Amino acid sequence: MCKNAHILQDLVKCDYAISPTNWQKQQVPEIFRDKIRVIHDGIDVNYCKPNESAEFRVPNTDIVLTKKDKILTYVSRGMEEYRGFPEFMKAASILMKENPDLKVVIAGEDRVCYGRRIANSTFKKEMLKKYEFDMERLYFTGGLPYKDYVNLLQVSTAHIYLTYPFVLSWSLMEAMSTECTIIASDTMPVKEVINDGYNGILVDFYDTDRLVSKTNDVLSNPEKYKDISANARKTIIDNYALSDMLKKQLALFNECITI
């Protein structure tokens, strides 16, 4: 309640507010919803775009990955339960055993941004103890410069995005814009953006078997999912392109000025 107090105070005082997703708008008390316009911050579709010749150099190594490699990617600011890091690591350990040529790249810092922490440890340390990995094919990049981060998405064969019902990560939409083939959790607000079988693949957050099965199919048959990847980018261009979102934001600002 205390954490939400300042937001409620702002909603009482403001004439308009902006929410990036409909789901987030619906979390606000109904009395304030008429004030809220759903306008996403926007994705730079001209920068976050597919690139068949992209290369990603794993930090602090001589390893360079390209579209010719079989690559599973995971991106998050931190490694935490809210973003399904434990579930991802369980699936990744199985996928690496079943795909001896698979390389797994995890971008993000060894910390918790949202949710509970583990006393005297981290989720990364605990998952590495709990599951077996070929550490020569498992890469933790830490935080990445934006250009390198986009390069990583561009070389991805399969991209896993898992989340509790919580703020939608911009990384999901940037991955869609680069035409990643995405396997995501069947949770809100993911379902606001991804239509299962059209522009991504949805699985139950806790169903590791299905997550592994669907990801394996993508890794083994990437051409089969070309249309889904293309539709992912089309979804972002049609609904979340930065240039369009800026126009909507400016229109709202102008409306505020005339009140």
The residue to which tokens 């583990």 are assigned: 118
Q: Is residue 145 part of a domain?
A: yes
Closest listed residue to residue 167, CA positions, set 60, 2, 5, 7: 7
- 88 and 183 part of one domain: yes
Closest listed residue to residue 252, CA positions, set 59, 14, 10: 14
Angstrom distance (rounded) from CA 132 to CA 92: 10
Angstrom distance (rounded) from CA 12 to CA 157: 46
Which residues, in sequence order, are bridge partners of residue 140? Answer: 106
CATH number at residue 196: 3.40.50.2000
Angstrom distance (rounded) from CA 154 to CA 112: 26
Cα torsion angle, 133, 139, 143, 146, sign: negative
For the chain, the domain total comes to: 2
- Structure confidence at residue 257 (pLDDT): 87
- 8 and 90 part of one domain: no
Q: Is residue 27 part of a domain?
A: yes
Q: Is residue 167 part of a domain?
A: yes
CB 76 within 8 A of CB 169: yes
Kindly report the pTM of this predicted structure.
Answer: 0.95
- 115 and 227 part of one domain: yes
Amino acid identity of 159? H
Q: Is residue 173 part of a domain?
A: yes
- 71 and 92 part of one domain: yes
- Structure confidence at residue 228 (pLDDT): 98
- 12 and 86 part of one domain: no
Q: Is residue 50 part of a domain?
A: no
- 203 and 249 part of one domain: no
- Structure confidence at residue 137 (pLDDT): 98
Q: Is residue 199 part of a domain?
A: yes
Tokens matching residue 101: 């040529």
- 26 and 132 part of one domain: no
Domain containing 25 equals 2-41+241-257
- 13 and 65 part of one domain: no
- 96 and 208 part of one domain: yes
3-state helix, strand, coil in the chain (%, to 5): 45, 20, 35
Helix (H, G, I), strand (E, B) or coil at 167: coil
- 228 and 251 part of one domain: no
- 201 and 247 part of one domain: no
Q: Is residue 48 part of a domain?
A: no
Question: Per-residue confidence of the chain (259 residues) as pLDDT tens digits?
Answer: 677 888 899 999 999 999 999 999 999 999 999 999 999 999 999 999 999 999 999 999 999 999 999 999 999 999 999 999 999 999 999 999 999 999 999 999 999 999 999 999 999 999 999 999 999 999 999 999 999 999 999 999 999 999 999 999 999 999 999 999 999 999 999 999 999 999 999 999 999 999 999 999 999 999 999 999 999 999 999 999 999 999 999 999 999 887 6
Q: Is residue 49 part of a domain?
A: no
CB 153 within 8 A of CB 178: yes
- Structure confidence at residue 3 (pLDDT): 76
- 36 and 90 part of one domain: no
